[in-house]
Amino acid sequence: MKGLRVLVTGGASGIGAATARRFAQEGAGVVVLDRDATAEFACVEADLSDDASVRAAVAAAAGRLGGLDVLVNNAGIGAVGDVTANPDEEWHRVYDVNVLGIVRTTRAALPHLRDSGRGAIVNTCSIAAWTGIPQRALYSTTKGAVQALTLAMAADHLHDGIRVNCVNPGTADTPWVRRLLDAAEDPEAERAALQARQPTGRLVSAEEVAHAIVHLADPRSSATTGVVLAVDGGMHSLRVPAR
């Protein structure tokens, strides 16, 4: 990993911050792209829904690192409710960040990843892409698109020498989920319900997701492309009740 040049979106918090930290520990050069500044890592500020700011930020990151080998498209936002719950504008807003955000960063990063010779993209998707989770119609739709986009990009850029994979986390203990729990009527009961949904009986940690992302991005995973890797304590594939 020494000398690997890595850009992580959404790296100011949660899974993105844990990922940036892991890459740095492994000896990689890391820049974080986020709408919020972070003092922990070198950071380029941009809003994924603004193409010009994304292009400028990716160029600044590549300039700083002297190129790019790895793009981690991790940033995303949530939405709650069934298919009737959100107006069209909200569907556009969330899709704009969760899906077009990946399109924008990837478009800007591709020339650098092609030059790398060991280019890799890892998208943070969700088990919501392949499991029906109640009250997540809009969010799940965007993540279904992220999973399909991952495979399409893996096919299109195979001969550019760029591998493209995604991770599908189960519910992970991040500031995002803690905010949701804090807003619940009974946060303790809500946490217990989320934990019970996962066969392991606990939430996934940001570090566990980061480990999977780093593994997929690692140049030694050179035969791994077009893979959807669950990091969900068995939630998607097992029928084992939590103890």
Least separation in angstroms between residue 46's CB and ligand NAD is 6
Candidate list 14, 139, 157, 166, residue with the active-site label: 139
CA 20 from centre of chain? 12
CA distance 178 to 172: 9
Does 172 help bind ligand NAD (rule: CB under 6 A)? yes
In the complex with ligand NAD, the residue whose CB is nearer, 76 or 233, is: 76
Tell which one of 1, 15, 31, 129 touches ligand NAD (CB under 6 A): 15
What three-state secondary structure class fits 30?
strand
Binding mask of the shown chain, residues 119 to 158, with x at each position contacting ligand NAD by CB under 6 A:
-----x-x--------------------------------
Q: Please report whether residue 174 would count as binding ligand NAD according to CB under 6 A.
A: yes
Q: How far apart are the first and last CA of the chain?
A: 38
Enclosing H/E stretch for 72:
strand 70-73
Q: Does the protein bind ligand NAD through residue 106 (CB under 6 A)?
A: no
Q: Which is nearer to ligand NAD, 91 or 219 (CB)?
A: 91
The 42-45 sheet, strands edge to edge = 42-45, 29-34, 5-9, 70-73, 119-124, 162-169, 228-231
Just list the catalytic residues. 139
Binding site for ligand NAD (CB under 6 A): 10, 12-16, 34-36, 47-49, 74-77, 97, 124, 126, 169, 171-172, 174-177
